[in-house]
Amino acid sequence: MNNKEKLRNAGLRPTKQRMIVADILLNGFNRHFTAENLQDEINSSGNSMSIATVYNCLKKFKNCGLIKQVETSKDTAIFDTNTDYHHHFLNEETGELIDIENEEISLHKIPEIPQGYLNNGIEVIIKLKRHN
């Protein structure tokens, strides 16, 4: 399926800007990135885009499930093109994230979900510290 179809299937109009973003993000290679990272990449690809559009686009992509946002307490939002159920190593000093495939972790026991709620996904973060 090409990117235009991916956008349409997700219910998004395939505008010029969204196609530029899709071409960068939805190429089969997974990555973690910030809004600023993405804008830089757009610029160095010879295109340009308002930062507001970058954010709008990321929000739409996220709501459609085309990308994910990672849970970290960093001050900048980090996005992930890997939308599969998976986990992360987090280098707390640098903020760097490394994917952990779902199969590499097994949760043996989980607590009862509170009344009135559903389990909407589990994220495991293994914090890393440089070894000296």
Q: Which residues bind DNA (CB under 7 A)?
A: 12-18, 34-36, 48-53, 55-57, 59-60, 75-77
Residue 24 beta carbon to its own copies: minimum distance, rounded to whole angstroms:
22
Count of Cβ atoms closer than 10 Å to residue 64 Cβ: 14
Separation of alpha carbons 64 and 114, rounded Å: 27
Given the complex with its own copies, which of 13 and 127 has the nearer CB atom? 127
For the purposes of burial, counting CB atoms within 10 Å of the CB of 17, is it exposed (0-12), middle (13-18) or buried (19 or more)? middle
Question: Residue 97: what are its φ and ψ, rounded to 5°?
Answer: -115, 145
Cα distances (angstroms) measured from residue 86 to each of 45, 57, 93, 102, 114:
30, 23, 22, 5, 23
59 binds, among its own copies, DNA, none (CB under 5 to 8 A by kind): DNA
Instruction: Kindly write out the interface string for residues 86-125 of this chain, putting x where it contacts its own copies by CB under 8 A and - elsewhere.
Output: ---xxxx-----x-xx--xxxxxxxx-xx-xxxxxxxxxx
24 binds, among its own copies, DNA, none (CB under 5 to 8 A by kind): none
The answer to whether the beta carbons of residues 66 and 83 sit under 8 Å apart is: yes
Instruction: Kindly write out the interface string for residues 16-55 of this chain, putting x where it contacts its own copies by CB under 8 A and - elsewhere.
Output: ----------------------------------------
Separation of alpha carbons 24 and 29, rounded Å: 9
Given the complex with DNA, which of 30 and 47 has the nearer CB atom? 47
Out of 44, 46, 73, 94, the residue judged to bind its own copies by CB under 8 A: 73
Separation of alpha carbons 40 and 49, rounded Å: 10
Residue 120 beta carbon to its own copies: minimum distance, rounded to whole angstroms:
4
